[in-house]
Amino acid sequence: MGWIDDKNNLVQQINLSEVLGDLPDNKLISNIASVKSTSFNLVPFLLDLMSIACKDTSNGAKGCLPSVGKGANPSSSKGAKCDVLRVITEILVDFFPVLIRIVKEGIIKGIKAGLLCPADFKIPSLSLSTSVELKPDEFDSGKLTTLDPTVFPASLFFGEPDKDLNVFLANLIQSGVGSTGNWKNLLNFEVIDYAVTSGGISTTDLGLLVKIDNSFVGKEFDVFLKDYMNSIELFNFDNFIPNLMEEVNGSISNILNNSDINYDFSIDKATDKEKVGKMVEKILDTDPCEEDFSLSNNFFTFNSDELLDIEAKAKNRLNGQKIFNYSCTPSVTSNLEKDLKIFNNSKELIKEKPSEVKSIIKSNTNRMLDDMANRIGFGEIENIKKSISIDLALALPKLSTSLIFTPKIMVLFQVAKKLVTNQTYPEPNTVNLNSVNFTFDFAVANRVFFEYVVRESGAALLEILYNQVKEEILKIVACIVAVLIKEAVNKKIQILKSLTGGFNKVSGLIPIKENNISQFL
């Protein structure tokens, strides 16, 4: 069966329960865009499916899909529990630990696959292969370590000092040449002067000498990878939604660009970012298990239409804007500082009441979405919020992928590459390192690693969504089974009654009081 047919069949199966449980809803399956889509990215489809299948008994409805039928509350076609906005917010907030766990595992798999390394070898004692000198762009093309992790809005990029390696490295590098540090007995760092030639002029920049801690000599590389990933905070929970917003519209970068802080987020860098985003979309739009699938150059080259789209999005990103297609008319929304300060201002509150962190983040997210939707100012607010929240969910794999370009993963990648191949990225005479196009070039040059991280990130989101949808579908199926059993029992009773009671010839046709149609019968 075809891809679209399969999706259609699934929606029909769910709608069938309406017939079995109550009366059919006039839902036009063909109107669901994600069903008709030929893309293999199932995130939009699962979000739609969740919305269709969600069972909310709070509105007093009856039947297998209680949001329809006689008992449904006419003022609310879907209860609050089934609201897509709520579903997405809960997925982003409640399933954060699951997401982090799967993405961490994905990064480890990606490193092993990208380096064609089974990782069961033991780390040698030779200091040559266990230490690596990195130029600034080779571990921090985004200049994250030049920012002050304590000052808003840069603080939104960072996590807790004792958990986030990016904070550790920013503090270390800003302490100047010669500064040294040890990260949780895993890696030793030293800030070094690194000769850089730019425009024919030779200067020096702050580089990093990284060495695997001696305590890991003789231990399996796989153990090192796992211990390393367990030692770092992948995302800071408090800053997760702001970083998702940064992924959607470049909001944090835009505020930094417009501040006194020396942060050079140029149109070229914005284009680089959009190109990587497009590659993520292209990869997730495909099924890697199709017979004729190969990660060809088509994934890393763009036609003129794609380039125009990338250019337009890059310009918007530079301005901290995003066009939301919540209706036929695309709209731009931005009041970046206000959006992000909602989260920054609640950090103290979270410290005071750590047990309420989830509800605070959810409340902040809803407030931000409300503000953004109201700023657009026309159309149906709920639809605009839904559109923005779906964009946030779709940005999740891109955010996870962006993470690999930050120092905490780039350092690990470079150390692993040196250990396995005795080289770092870029290998000599292969790619001219250009900090502006670094992320795109890196993704192209390390496509297996990149594809793996993208697919694992997408799979993490899909797994969470799948389990949510499954829970709702099983409720429907349980309801259908109950209906079928009841029907079978009733049928048997009717048959037995008809056999024992006989046919009442006197009664004949049942008279219909409401309507006399006897002249037509």
Partner 1 sequence: MAKLGCNDVNPNEINFKQPRSILNGLLSLFRIPTTTSGSVAPKQLILASKSRPGLSAKSMAANVIQRQAEAGLNVGPLGTGAISPAEIMEKIRMEEVVKAITTQMKIDLAVTPGGTSVVSGTAGPIPVVGNAIITSILGGNAIAS
- Residue 480 in contact with partner 1, rule: CB under 8 A: yes
Nearer to partner 1, 252 or 476 (CB): 476
Q: How many amino acids of this chain bind partner 1 (CB under 8 A)?
A: 59
Nearer to partner 1, 352 or 514 (CB): 514
Minimum separation from the CB atom of position 350 to partner 1 (A): 31
Residue found under tokens 């350092």: 411
Nearer to partner 1, 50 or 373 (CB): 50
Distance in angstroms (rounded) separating the CA atoms of residues 517 and 521: 7
Distance in angstroms (rounded) separating the CA atoms of residues 168 and 190: 12
DSSP state of 123: P
Asked, as a colleague might, if the bond just before 426 is cis with ω within 30 of 0, I would say: yes
Task: Find the binder of partner 1 among 80, 126, 151, 481 (CB under 8 A).
Answer: 481
- Residue 201 in contact with partner 1, rule: CB under 8 A: no
Both tokens of 45, joined, read: 């489809």
Count Cβ atoms below 10 Å from residue 113 Cβ, excluding itself.
Answer: 14
- Residue 475 in contact with partner 1, rule: CB under 8 A: no
Interactions with partner 1, residue window 429-448 (CB under 8 A):
448
- Residue 450 in contact with partner 1, rule: CB under 8 A: no
105 to 230, 412, 452: CA distances (angstroms) = 10, 14, 11
Minimum separation from the CB atom of position 206 to partner 1 (A): 36
- Residue 255 in contact with partner 1, rule: CB under 8 A: no
Sign of CA dihedral 265, 271, 275, 280: positive
Nearer to partner 1, 197 or 515 (CB): 515
Task: Find the binder of partner 1 among 74, 97, 199, 508 (CB under 8 A).
Answer: 508
Minimum separation from the CB atom of position 96 to partner 1 (A): 17
Sign of CA dihedral 111, 414, 432, 437: positive
- Residue 8 in contact with partner 1, rule: CB under 8 A: no
Distance in angstroms (rounded) separating the CA atoms of residues 101 and 93: 14
Interactions with partner 1, residue window 280-299 (CB under 8 A):
287-289, 293-296
Nearest to 399 by CA among 520, 277, 257, 275: 277
Minimum separation from the CB atom of position 400 to partner 1 (A): 14
Task: Find the binder of partner 1 among 238, 458, 468, 479 (CB under 8 A).
Answer: 458
Minimum separation from the CB atom of position 268 to partner 1 (A): 29
Task: Find the binder of partner 1 among 126, 308, 349, 484 (CB under 8 A).
Answer: 484
- Residue 496 in contact with partner 1, rule: CB under 8 A: yes
Residue type, 246: E
Distance in angstroms (rounded) separating the CA atoms of residues 316 and 334: 10
Evaluate whether 510 touches 51 at the Cβ level (below 8 Å). Answer: no
- Residue 41 in contact with partner 1, rule: CB under 8 A: yes
- Mask of contacts with partner 1, 87-116, x by CB under 8 A? --------------------------x---
Task: Find the binder of partner 1 among 32, 35, 49, 373 (CB under 8 A).
Answer: 49
Distance in angstroms (rounded) separating the CA atoms of residues 231 and 184: 7
Residue 206, C-beta contacts closer than 8 angstroms, at least 6 positions apart: 136, 173, 176, 177, 191, 192, 193, 194
Interface with partner 1 by CB under 8 A: which range of 343-351, 370-378, 403-411, 473-481?
A: 473-481
Q: In which element (H, E) is residue 211 found?
A: strand 201-212
Nearer to partner 1, 10 or 307 (CB): 10
Sign of CA dihedral 240, 246, 247, 253: negative
DSSP state of 122: B
Task: Find the binder of partner 1 among 162, 197, 502, 506 (CB under 8 A).
Answer: 502
- Residue 4 in contact with partner 1, rule: CB under 8 A: no
Minimum separation from the CB atom of position 166 to partner 1 (A): 27
Evaluate whether 488 touches 500 at the Cβ level (below 8 Å). Answer: no
Interface with partner 1 by CB under 8 A: which range of 149-157, 204-212, 261-269, 466-474?
A: 466-474
Count Cβ atoms below 10 Å from residue 354 Cβ, excluding itself.
Answer: 9
Evaluate whether 172 touches 191 at the Cβ level (below 8 Å). Answer: yes
Q: How far apart are the first and last CA of the chain?
A: 46
Task: Find the binder of partner 1 among 402, 456, 468, 479 (CB under 8 A).
Answer: 456
- Residue 332 in contact with partner 1, rule: CB under 8 A: no
Minimum separation from the CB atom of position 261 to partner 1 (A): 39
Both tokens of 69, joined, read: 């039928």
Beta bridge partners of 189: 181, 210
Both tokens of 439, joined, read: 């992320």
Task: Find the binder of partner 1 among 52, 350, 460, 479 (CB under 8 A).
Answer: 460
Nearer to partner 1, 23 or 312 (CB): 23
Nearer to partner 1, 10 or 357 (CB): 10
206 to 2, 143, 145: CA distances (angstroms) = 55, 11, 10
Nearer to partner 1, 121 or 293 (CB): 293
Distance in angstroms (rounded) separating the CA atoms of residues 178 and 205: 13
Task: Find the binder of partner 1 among 219, 353, 470, 486 (CB under 8 A).
Answer: 470
Residue type, 460: A
Binding site for partner 1 (CB under 8 A): 3, 6-7, 9-10, 13, 23, 40-42, 46, 49, 113, 287-289, 293-296, 448, 451-452, 455-456, 458-460, 462-463, 466, 469-470, 473-474, 477, 480-481, 484, 488, 492, 495-496, 498-500, 502-503, 505, 508-510, 512, 514-515, 517, 519-521
